């Protein structure tokens, strides 16, 4: 399979540090494969970056799965799109020779929600996740065994889109599945701030140190 056959429009930037864990960058509604490249570079300098564009359009804006209304997800489509994204990740790891360790997802808003769905539905596809402004995407039965997979949830205390209860509920859900979850609240709304970047950098460093 070639890069052109992977099924998602995407950008790939090779790493410059041997053995660095790749990042899977997942944009928010209306974003694209370029949006989070600079964030990925800041969070994990030298890591390979894999950044797909969501295939679902909402009023012309790319997303990773459909929703029925603000905060109301199309769960059937979510499952389909999560499977396709998991397949993309698996194929891209082979095409780009990304090594034995699955990527760490860095997702913002809708991208954070599809990353959460990957953890819950296809846990082997990720080795960690930084979820920026996420909600609970779905509650699978049964829960997966996440076996200590590190997850940072970065919530905004003044977020008008994500109800305050959602990041805590997601932390509890992933924790119940065995993930090693850190919940960080910043003095922010839905947009990202310097505080989010600093929290993400600290978390990435701790994950890298733990893996040795």
Mean pLDDT, the chain, whole residue set:
96
Q: Is the pLDDT of residue 121 over 80?
A: yes
Q: How confident is the model at residue 212 (pLDDT cuts 50, 70, 90)?
A: low
Q: Is 97 a catalytic residue?
A: no
184 among known catalytic residues? no
pTM over 0.75: yes
- CB pairs under 8 A, 24+ apart, for 18-22? 19/99, 20/44, 20/46, 20/47, 20/48, 21/47, 21/101, 21/103, 21/104, 21/127, 21/128, 21/208, 21/211, 22/47, 22/48, 22/49, 22/50, 22/93, 22/98, 22/99, 22/101, 22/103, 22/104
Stretch 184-196: mean pLDDT? 95
Catalytic-labelled residue, pool 122, 125, 159, 186:
159
- The catalytic residue among 51, 109, 125, 186 is 109
Structural domains of the chain in order of their starting residue, each with its CATH number: 3-211 (3.40.50.1820)
């Amino acid at each position: 399979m070639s890069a052109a056959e992977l099924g998602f429009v995407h950008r790939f930037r090779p790493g410059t540090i041997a053995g660095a864990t790749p990042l899977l960058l997942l944009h928010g509604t209306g974003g694209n494969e370029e949006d989070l490249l600079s964030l990925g570079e800041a969070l994990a300098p030298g890591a390979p970056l894999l950044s797909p564009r969501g295939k679902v359009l909402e009023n012309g804006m790319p997303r990773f799965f459909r929703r029925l209304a603000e905060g109301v997800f199309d769960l059937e489509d979510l499952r389909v799109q999560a499977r396709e994204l998991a397949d993309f990740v698996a194929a891209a790891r082979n095409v780009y020779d990304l090594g034995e360790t699955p990527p760490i997802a860095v997702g913002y808003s809708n991208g954070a929600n599809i990353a959460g769905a990957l953890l819950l539905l296809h846990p082997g596809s990720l080795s960690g996740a930084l979820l920026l402004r996420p909600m609970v995407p779905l509650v699978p039965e049964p829960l997966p065994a996440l076996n200590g997979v590190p997850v940072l949830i970065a919530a905004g205390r003044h977020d008008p889109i994500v109800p305050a209860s959602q990041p805590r509920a997601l932390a509890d859900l992933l924790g119940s599945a065995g993930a090693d979850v850190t919940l960080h609240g910043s003095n922010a709304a839905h947009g990202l701030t310097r505080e989010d970047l600093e929290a993400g950098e600290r978390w990435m460093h701790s994950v890298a140190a733990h893996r040795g």
